[in-house]
C-alpha cells in the first residue's frame, strides 16, 4: 500500500500519535526535545507546544485540555494558551528515569510507564493516573514501558516492555482497574526489530511498530500475524488511526539513534507517515 511522508515534519524521537476526534487533528510528541505537535491534516499546518521537559504520551480530555506523560510525571496542557501544569509527580526520587508511552482505559484512567534514560534494565514501572489525581503503581521491574491498549470488550490489556522480545497480555478488571495473569501474546524475533508502540483496531487486531524493523505488524486476537506493512525508515515508533472516518493510519518515527550514514540512507527518518490500510480504527478514549 502507498505510504505518504507528510511534508514539513521531522522529529528527533517522534512518538505518541493520538487522534483528536473533536478537533479533527493529530497530536504527537518529539520526546527529548520536549515538544507536542498538533497536526491539522485539512489545513496542512503543524502547531508546536514547548513543554519544558521530555514529553512522551498524550490523552485528550472531554473538557478540552490534554493530559501528558512528562519526564517528571503527569501534567496538563492547555491547548489554547500552551500553559503546562503538573498534576502528579512520578518517581521524584529517581532523576535517572522518565515517563514513556501511555493510553487511556474505558473508565478514563491514564496508564503510562517509565524507563531509564541511562539504559538500565528493569528500572522502570507502569502507573495508573485516576481522575482524582491519584497515581498507583501496577508493575515494577520494567526495562522500557511502552505500548499498551485494550481489547474491545475491555477484558484484556496488551502491554509492551521493549526490554522483552514480545507483546504481553493481561486479564483486565475494568471496574477495579487491575491486572492479572500476565502471559505472552506474541513473541517477535529480534532480527525483525523491537516492539514499540501499539494500537488495537475496530476488528480487535493489534498493530505494533517495530523499532529497528521499519515496519508495522498486525496480529489477530489469537496471536496470528496477518500482515506486515513496510515503511521507508528503520525507527518506526507508534501507529494511530485517525481521519474523519478513522481509516487513516498515522505512524511516527525517529532519527535519534541513527548514524550519519544511516540518516543519509533514510532521509525520511523522523517523519510522520500516513497510509490507508483498509481497516478502521477506534476513537480514542477520553481521560477524565
State the CB neighbour count (10 A cutoff) for residue 120. 12
Grid coordinates representing 218 are: 498486525
β-sheet with 145-150: strand ranges across = 145-150, 156-161, 166-173, 178-187
196 catalytic per annotation:
yes
Q: Which of 30, 101, 196, 248 is catalytic?
A: 196
d(CA 54, CA 100): 9
Task: Give every CB contact of residue 203 below 8 A, 6+ residues apart in sequence.
Answer: 279, 280
First to last CA, the chain: 37
Residue 236 · residue 251 · CB < 8 Å: yes
Burial class of residue 154 (count of CB atoms within 10 Å of its CB; 0-12, 13-18, 19+) = middle
d(CA 253, CA 235): 6
Which whole-number Å values give the CA distances from 249 to 198, 224, 274, in the listed order? 12, 21, 6
Positions marked catalytic: 196
Amino acid at each position: 500500500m502507498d505510504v505518504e511522508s507528510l511534508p514539513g515534519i521531522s522529529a528527533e524521537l517522534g512518538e505518541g500519535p493520538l487522534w483528536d476526534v473533536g478537533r479533527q487533528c493529530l497530536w504527537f510528541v518529539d520526546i527529548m526535545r520536549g515538544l507536542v505537535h498538533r497536526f491539522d491534516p485539512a489545513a496542512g499546518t503543524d502547531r508546536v507546544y514547548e513543554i519544558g521537559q521530555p514529553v512522551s504520551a498524550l490523552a485528550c480530555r472531554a473538557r478540552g485540555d490534554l493530559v501528558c506523560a512528562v519526564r517528571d510525571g503527569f501534567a496538563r496542557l492547555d491547548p489554547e494558551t500552551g500553559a503546562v501544569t503538573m498534576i502528579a509527580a512520578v518517581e521524584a526520587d529517581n532523576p535517572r528515569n522518565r515517563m514513556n508511552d501511555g493510553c487511556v482505559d474505558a473508565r478514563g484512567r491514564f496508564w503510562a510507564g517509565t524507563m531509564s534514560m541511562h539504559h538500565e534494565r528493569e528500572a522502570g514501572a507502569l502507573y495508573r493516573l485516576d481522575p482524582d489525581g491519584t497515581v498507583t503503581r501496577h508493575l515494577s521491574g520494567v526495562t522500557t514501558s511502552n505500548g499498551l491498549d485494550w481489547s474491545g470488550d475491555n477484558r484484556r490489556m496488551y502491554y509492551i516492555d521493549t526490554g522483552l522480545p514480545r507483546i504481553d497480555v493481561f486479564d483486565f478488571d475494568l471496574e477495579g482497574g487491575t491486572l492479572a495473569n500476565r502471559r505472552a501474546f506474541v513473541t517477535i524475533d529480534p532480527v525483525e526489530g523491537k516492539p514499540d508502540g501499539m494500537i488495537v483496531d475496530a476488528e480487535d487486531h493489534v498493530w505494533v511498530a517495530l523499532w529497528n524493523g521499519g515496519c508495522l505488524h498486525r496480529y489477530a486476537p489469537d496471536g496470528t500475524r496477518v500482515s506486515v506493512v513496510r515503511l521507508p525508515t528503520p525507527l518506526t515508533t507508534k501507529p494511530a488511526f485517525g481521519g474523519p472516518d478513522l481509516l487513516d493510519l498515522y505512524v511516527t518515527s525517529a532519527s535519534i539513534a541513527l548514524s550519519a550514514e544511516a540518516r543519509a540512507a533514510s532521509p525520511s527518518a523522523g517523519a510522520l507517515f500516513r497510509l490507508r490500510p483498509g481497516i478502521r480504527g477506534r476513537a480514542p478514549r477520553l481521560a477524565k
